């Protein structure tokens, strides 16, 4: 137990005397996960809304595939992306493996189904009603889209935040496609895994606390937004 509290103290001192490397790692983590979340959002929101609102043949199977993809194991995604990006892979000529770009691609694959799935569920539950109201009040197709976004704003935000949380905390995919290269592709989670492996528990713990802090911050924003919506007027 004293061992753990010693580590904790060391973690605190590490946090207060941040060096360049640690800052770089945190910034890269945020950059990679933020980028993949933005891309996933741009694809996932329209896709989720469309899937949720349209009825088409094979919707059942598409739904099940989507739900399965929401819980894709990061290592598997990392592996698949690594194969595609490797020299002999389909996109090998771009030389992306072991770059931040590769990590963004892998996390995008991971996060897009999550954003899509959450938006899909919200659209399935409330979308038809919103669409009808807009139509009966004289709205056109563009009005319908804006109203959907306005009415489902909390769900959309939950989707994005959940996606970001998943991206920033996963280790398997970024480890495989990024390679945890110092000053290049090392992010918070791979730093934690590496330091844990080397027995530097204090360093690992310190970074773990930063990760928790970020997660807390993001969720606080979400909570605030949810409260605002509930309390407004």
Partner 1 sequence: MNIELINVQKCYGDKCVLEIEALNLDKQQIYGVVGENGAGKSTLLKLIAGLEAPSSGTIAYDGESMSSAVIKRITYVSQTPYLLKRSVFENVAYPLKIRNMSPERCNEKVKNMLAMLQIESLAKRNAQMLSAGETQKVALARALVFEPDVLLLDEPTANIDQDTIELIESVLRNRHGMMTLHISHNRDQVERLCDTVIKLSGGRLVQAAMKGT
Q: Answer whether 147's CB lies under 8 Å from 134's CB.
A: yes
Q: Six-digit token pair at 217?
A: 């911050």
Nearer to partner 1, 213 or 226 (CB): 226
Whole-angstrom Cα distance, residue 21 to residue 191? 11
Whole-angstrom Cα distance, residue 53 to residue 135? 14
Q: How far is the CB of 140 from partner 1 (least distance, A)?
A: 6
What residues make contact with partner 1 under the rule CB under 8 A? 129-130, 132-140, 143, 147, 150-151, 229-230, 232-233
Whole-angstrom Cα distance, residue 193 to residue 49? 37
Nearer to partner 1, 69 or 147 (CB): 147
Q: Answer whether 164's CB lies under 8 Å from 221's CB.
A: no
Q: How far is the CB of 230 from partner 1 (least distance, A)?
A: 8
Distances (CA, A) of 160 to 63, 79, 110, 114, 169: 19, 24, 13, 9, 14
Nearer to partner 1, 19 or 232 (CB): 232
Longest dimension (CA), the chain: 68
Local structure of residue 94 (DSSP, 8 states): G
Q: How far is the CB of 146 from partner 1 (least distance, A)?
A: 9
Tally of CA atoms within 13 A in the half-sphere of 186 that contains its CB: 14
Q: How far is the CB of 81 from partner 1 (least distance, A)?
A: 39
Nearer to partner 1, 151 or 170 (CB): 151
Nearer to partner 1, 1 or 137 (CB): 137
Q: How far is the CB of 135 from partner 1 (least distance, A)?
A: 6
- Give the residue among 191, 182, 63 at the shortest CA–CA distance from 121: 63
Nearer to partner 1, 131 or 186 (CB): 131
Whole-angstrom Cα distance, residue 78 to residue 22? 24
Q: How far is the CB of 130 from partner 1 (least distance, A)?
A: 7
């Amino acid at each position: 137990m004293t061992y753990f509290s010693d580590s904790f103290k060391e973690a605190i001192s590490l946090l207060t005397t941040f060096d360049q490397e640690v800052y770089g790692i945190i910034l890269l983590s945020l950059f990679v996960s933020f980028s993949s979340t933005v891309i996933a959002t741009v694809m996932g929101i329209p896709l989720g809304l469309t899937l949720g609102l349209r009825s088409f043949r094979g919707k059942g199977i598409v739904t099940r595939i989507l739900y399965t993809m929401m819980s894709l194991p990061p290592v598997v995604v990392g592996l698949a992306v690594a194969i595609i990006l490797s020299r002999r892979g389909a996109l090998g000529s771009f030389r992306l493996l072991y770059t931040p770009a590769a990590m963004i691609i892998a996390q995008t694959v991971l996060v897009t189904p999550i954003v899509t799935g959450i938006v899909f569920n919200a659209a399935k539950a409330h979308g038809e009603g919103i669409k009808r109201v807009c139509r009966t009040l004289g709205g056109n197709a563009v009005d319908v889209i804006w109203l959907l976004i306005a009415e489902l704003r909390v769900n959309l935000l939950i989707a994005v935040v959940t996606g970001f949380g998943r991206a920033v905390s996963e280790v398997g995919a970024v480890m495989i496609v990024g390679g945890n290269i110092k000053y290049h592709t090392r992010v918070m989670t791979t730093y934690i895994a590496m330091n844990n492996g080397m027995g530097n528990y204090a360093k690992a713990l310190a970074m773990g606390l930063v990760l928790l802090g970020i997660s807390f911050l993001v969720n606080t924003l979400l909570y605030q937004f949810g409260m605002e919506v509930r309390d407004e007027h």
